[in-house]
Chains A and B, each alone.
Chain A
Amino acid sequence: MNDIALADIARNLLDGALWTLGLSLTSFALGGLAGLAVLFARIARHPLPRRLAQGYIEVFQGTPLLMQLFIIFFGGGLIGLEIQPWLAAALGLTLFTSAYLGEIWRGCVEAIPKGQWEASASLAMTPLEQMRHVILPQALRIAIAPTVGFSVQVVKGTAVTSIIGFVELTKTGSMLANATFQPFLVFGLVALGYFALCYPLSAYSRILERKIHGARAH
């Protein structure tokens, strides 16, 4: 009897975990694209896009993800849009991700020595060519470790979307805990599920970090 219950719980949680995984991948991919736009605005020559991007980043880093989701979820109704939880979840997490990745990547671009810009400028490269051929290839190497590290924050962020009714791992867990009266077991398994998703990413980002630091020491 108990074994069957456990198998049921596990199967349902696995379903929830797939939604968590799907939402994480979507937000990370779309957030990465939008993050590139934020990065380019953040390092633009003209002060206007630079300030706008800075404000964007500050707002998303200075307010709770839950509030961002609430505003999207309830704000859509204002302009007559019926926003489904999954859409609000994906949109909210994408914006959140883009702000953080934009800022992380800016740090990577600025870590490239000024001389690289000057040298490529002296070769009569346009700013776009400088970015494309000289700066980004080097910045990319530095960016991989913190980007992988940040993906853990995205996976953990998806848990908050359960509050606006998106049925992922945490929401599945809440429903199962109510149905089975075994919250200790269920939330323990939920935590394990997140750990299984996140730990490999954190461990990998640490390995990458060590590699880069090792390479720089030479």
Chain B
Amino acid sequence: MAYAFDFSAVLEHRDALLAGTGRTLLLTGIGAVAGLALGIAGAACRAWRLAPFDRIFAVYVELIRNTPFLVQLFFIFFGLPALGARLDEWQAAILAVVINLGAYSTEIIRAGIEATPRGQIEAAQSLAMTRPQMFRHVVLPPALARVWPAVCSQVVIVMLGTSVCSQIAAEELTFAANFIQSRNFRAFETYFTVTAIYFLLALAVRQALILAGPQQRGRRPK
């Protein structure tokens, strides 16, 4: 069977593609900022064994890392209204991303914090720093710099994972793809184009994060 590819049928809908791309990026951006903040809080509680939060975060991390993002999303969107928490599709999508990324970044950042050299802590103590000051100025910045590549990878993984948010009718990039292919019946061309957009987004987001992120300092000069 000869098949004539027709990508113009997809490009006709470039407005929908652009809007979807924008929303995917927005969802990822909001999710990344809030998710990392949650991760930093979680990592601090875990690393310093702040009872009872260390236990709570430990359970949260295990629960989230051992269940699929799609199920977390469905639980939040379809399940939570039973408890009286009715969320629209964007609120649910953002909440799911934040909770998901929060769990992964808790573990990643904790690894960075636990690699802090003992001497750094002792030096900070000898300067009479309080614990929060020490965390803010001595522990966190180098810890984040140490694990930043892993953080970038995780944000990219989460961005690709938001593709399933189309299932709760959040109008992101995959939703746009489904919309377009239901109009032009060019399923292959549509999904191929959108996959290519995701691929470019993944490259761009990773590069941007690496450039914008903290650099490791204090390395011995060459």
Contact = CB atoms under 8 A, between A and B. Distances in A.
Nearest to B181: A74
B156 to A, nearest CB: 8
A59 B163 CA distance: 16
A63 B67 contact: no
Contacts of B57: none
Chain B contact-residue range equals 35 or more
A71 B191 contact: yes
A27 interface: no
B28 interface: no
A174 B75 CA distance: 10
Q: Is the interface of A mostly helix, strand, loop or mixed?
A: helix
A184 B82 contact: yes
Interface stretch (A42-50, A111-119, A154-162): A154-162
Interface stretch (A122-130, A195-203, A209-217): A195-203
A187 B198 contact: no
Interface string A167-205: 000100110010000111011101100110011001000
Interface residues of A, number: 41
B174 A67 contact: yes
Contact of A170 (B68, B188, B194): B68
Nearest to A67: B195
Residue of B1, B67, B68, B174 with most partner-chain A CB within 10 A: B68
Contacts of A74: 181, 187-188, 191
A63 B161 CA distance: 9
B70 A188 contact: no
B68 A160 contact: yes
A182 B83 CA distance: 11
B72 interface: yes
Nearest to A181: B82
A182 B181 CA distance: 32
B191 A202 contact: no
Contacts of B75: 184, 187-188, 190-191
A184 B83 contact: yes
Interface string A130-161: 00000000000000000000001000111110
B30 interface: no
B188 A78 contact: yes
Given A74-B188, A79-B1, A156 B203 contact: no
A28 B78 CA distance: 31
Contact of A156 (B62, B68, B78, B79): B68
Nearest to B157: A61
B71 A190 contact: yes
B114 to A, nearest CB: 14
B62 A199 contact: yes
B195 A156 contact: no
Contacts of B1: 78-80
B69 to A, nearest CB: 7
A79 to B, nearest CB: 7
Interface of B: 1, 3, 62-63, 65-72, 74-75, 78-83, 156, 160-161, 163-164, 167, 174, 177, 181, 187-188, 191-192, 194-195, 198-199, 202-203
Closest 4 CB pairs of A and B: A159-B68, A74-B187, A64-B163, A184-B82
10 contacts: A62-B203, A71-B188, A77-B187, A152-B66, A158-B68, A163-B70, A170-B71, A184-B80, A187-B74, A202-B65
Given A159-B68, A188-B79, 11 more contacts: A62-B160, A64-B160, A64-B164, A64-B195, A71-B195, A74-B181, A75-B188, A152-B66, A177-B79, A183-B82, A190-B71
